[in-house]
Amino acid sequence: MTGWPAATLLAAGVVGVAALVAVATDGGTFALLSAQASTDPVTITAGSADLSLSSLTLPTTALWPGDTEFGVLTARNTGDVPLDLSIATARGSAPASTTGTTGTTTAVADLRVAIGASTSVAACRSGVMHTTWTGTLDSSTATTAGISVRPGAAVVLCVGLTMPSSAPASQQGLGTDFTATITGTQASS
């Protein structure tokens, strides 16, 4: 039994050498590294959305069935974020009347409104525009106009009012007013 402790020591040595060889040939590096750094303080400023509109100018000539008149206004982005424009229209509160009489007859019920960008006031007055929004005088839900305005930029908006060819004779001599509400909402990047 004197050989048993020597054999045990020899076996333990062989296992220890095998473990050392396995760790040495593994190729891995074992270390715990860490580093830390901070940035200098920065200030973040929120942007502003601001839209200014010129007055809409429309000809005062009478419309007849099939006729279109064009008016012009300028939308300027005076904020510092890009804006997408939306449009809604609403019939005004002025009562309609026939020439020389007063009444509450609904005037020009069938007028169609088209709005789009134009290269200039003169081009719009000539009817040259890229129509991006159409509706009636009662399009009271704001919908996108498909027009974006960069900060500091302006766009000439052309407004076309058309009386359909099918307008009834009862529309003769009637008038109405309307409001176009143009909203600028921050454009998504």
Q: Over the stretch 126-177, which tens digit does the pLDDT of each residue have? A: 889 999 999 888 888 888 899 999 999 999 999 999 888 888 887 777 777 8
- Whether pTM > 0.85 for this model: the answer is no
SS3 79: coil
| CA quadruple 36, 40, 41, 43: dihedral, nearest 10 | -130
Chain length of the chain: 189
Average pLDDT on 29-55 reads 82
Average pLDDT on 109-132 reads 89
For 45-73, the pLDDT digits (tens) are 777 889 999 998 888 888 888 889 999 99
The whole-number pLDDT of residue 107 equals 53
Given a contact cutoff of 8 angstroms between Cβ atoms, the answer to whether 120 and 156 are in contact is: yes
The whole-number pLDDT of residue 114 equals 92
Average pLDDT on 21-31 reads 61
Q: What is the C-alpha R_g of the chain?
A: 38
Q: What stretches of 65-158 show up as alpha helix (H) in DSSP?
A: 121-125
Average pLDDT on 117-125 reads 92
Distance CA 137, CA 180 (A): 9
Residues with Cβ within 8 Å of 130's Cβ and at least 6 positions away in sequence, in order, are 116, 117, 118
Which of the 8 DSSP states describes residue 88? Answer: E
Given a contact cutoff of 8 angstroms between Cβ atoms, the answer to whether 187 and 148 are in contact is: yes
The CA-atom distances, in angstroms, between 66 and each of 62, 90, 132, 167 are: 12, 22, 21, 8
